[in-house]
Amino acid sequence: GYWNGNGLKPAEDYDFFEFPAITDGVANAVVGPVDGLVVSANAANVKGAEELVTFLVADKDVQGNWAQIQGALSANVNVDPAIYTPVMKKALDTIKAAQAFAFNYDLATPPPVAEVGLSMFAKFMDDPSGYEGLLQESQTAAAEAFKQ
């Protein structure tokens, strides 16, 4: 969700922290969504819709306003980071320093498969000692879910 505009004060009521390294020497990665705007091939005015999308993303002032309202980092790298809250700046610094960016698991796979994986994560958190059985169970369930 988005944090700005909900009455909470950045760095006072909520904050951002980088997940600590678990294993030294393993490359640091960040995980997050990649939101997108699309234009339907059957839109009544494809050219106009494409121009609107370009305007919304390419204009740094529009993107700056958008970022400030949402509390999410801008898709436009030309937006002045001075507009960001202290929390947003921490997130930006973490992303810039990361060696890799990974898309959220549950958004990167079909919903039935995501449910299998997310359920496995919950079971693992409850009892990590059974990870080998969970991996096998997940593989079998995911193979079935991919058939849906």
d(CA 102, CA 123): 23
Give the pTM. Answer: 0.72
- pLDDT tens track for 99-133: 999 888 888 899 999 999 999 999 999 999 999 99
DSSP secondary structure string for all residues of 70-124: H-S--S-TTS-GGGS-HHHHHHHHHHHH-SEEEE-GGGSS-HHHHHHHHHHHHHH
* Confidence label for 28 from pLDDT (cuts 50, 70 and 90): confident
